[in-house]
Amino acid sequence: MAALPVLALLVLLCWGGPHAAGQKRKEMVLSEKVNQLMEWTSKRPVIRMNGDKFRRFVKAPPRNYSVIVMFTALQPHRQCVVCKQADEEYQILANSWRYSSAFTNKIFFAMVDFDEGSDVFQMLNMNSAPTFINFPAKGKPKRGDTYELQVRGFAAEQLARWVADRTDVNIRVIRPPNYAGPLMLGLLLAVISGLVYLRGSNLDFLYNKTGWAFVALCFVLAMTSGQMWNHIRGPPYAHKNPHTGQMSYIHGSSQAQFVAETHIVLLFNGGVTLGMVFLHEAATSDMDVGKRKIMCIAGIGLVVLFFSWLLSVFRSKYHGYPYSFLMS
């Protein structure tokens, strides 16, 4: 009868022993991994990973941390302009987190370059860069764990919003100061005060309708061409296909645009406006007939040019072309 508790104890020891030992080993591996990641992060906010490091720290359990990984191609011979711009934003994001007072070991930022870890690209069946993926602490990445770069752009603020969405870690993006805005404002004030000075106390130019119309028009053109969207989403200037060397200035999707594209739109919108002004002047001004005829033809030309251009852009944007440019 006394043998039964002893037997039970033996069974418990045999089962629980290895289990507890395994648990302990796991715990040790985990704390070793976390320590190593913390050490790397203290040196560089974005940890560079090759295939081996990626498999050990991102893929393999045990993990109690999320890793955001940027898959990219930064080597000059890849000529991935977008990758460089995305990298700058990603560094700003990782730096903001690294020096934040809320910094914890819950989340790490890493990157895999195509030329250092092409095996990882193959393993994940990835054929475009840059790509951002969140590897959550538990389980595999789901659909939303791949950042929608084409839709959201790669501004650090957008990335931070996505990170907050996926990991509950809120990062306040802190950018190195940008003096362009204050500089422009100062320039504008200098020009205005210069004008006031030159005109003495005569402020009649403030009542100049054409002047105000011109300023308003500049504002409207800037806004309708999508400068605000650029400011918020931070798209690249243009895109060069490394295989054909061909430059694209118009984004292939109707969901996004390049900076160059907005300049082109600005130019054509300005052109059609000028065309309308010409047509109006040709019809109503009291200049001689020859000049008015020339204005009329120029006006019609500009308007026709605008609409034929519009048609071709619509065709290319709604037809769509692949965005991927690695290994394809």
Interacting residue ranges for ligand NAG, rule: CB under 6 A: 27, 30-31, 34, 64-65, 105-106
What is the radius of gyration, based on Cα positions, of the chain?
Answer: 30
CA distances from residue 152 to 137, 162, 166, 236, 245 in whole angstroms, order as listed: 24, 9, 15, 12, 26
Indicate the pairing of strand 247-248 with strand 239-240. antiparallel
Which is nearer to ligand NAG, 65 or 258 (by Cβ)? 65
The least CB distance from residue 78 to ligand NAG, in Å, is: 35
Min separation Cβ 260 and ligand NAG, Å: 43
Minimum CB–partner distance for residue 32 and ligand NAG (Å): 9
From CA 135, how far away is CA 114, in angstroms rounded? 18
Smallest separation (angstroms) from ligand NAG to the CB of 112: 23
The 3-state DSSP class for residue 202 equals coil
Residues 6+ apart with CB under 8 A from 160: 93, 96, 170, 171, 172, 173
Minimum Å gap between C-beta 232 and ligand NAG is: 32
Distance separating alpha carbons of residues 147 and 270, to the nearest angstrom: 36
Distance between CA atoms of residues 47 and 109, nearest Å: 6
Looking at the Cβ atoms of 27 and 165, the one nearer to ligand NAG is 27
Residue with smaller CB distance to ligand NAG, 68 or 120: 68
Q: Which is nearer to ligand NAG, 32 or 148 (CB)?
A: 32
Shortest CB 139 distance to ligand NAG, Å: 16
Alpha-helix residue ranges (DSSP H) falling in the chain: 3-43, 51-53, 81-98, 118-123, 149-152, 156-167, 180-198, 209-224, 227-233, 259-284, 289-319
Nearer residue to ligand NAG within complex by CB, 42 or 328: 42
Smallest distance from the beta carbon of 67 to ligand NAG, in angstroms? 12
**160, 153, 52: which is closest to 100 by C-alpha?**
160
Q: Which is nearer to ligand NAG, 34 or 300 (CB)?
A: 34
Cα–Cα distance for residue pair 49/58, rounded to 1 Å: 10
Q: 67 vs 129, which CB is nearer to ligand NAG?
A: 67
Q: Are 145 and 82 in contact (CB under 8 A)?
A: no
- Residue (57 or 114) nearer to ligand NAG, CB: 57
Least CB distance to ligand NAG at residue 48 (A) = 22
Q: How many CA atoms lie within 13 A of 108 on its CB side?
A: 28
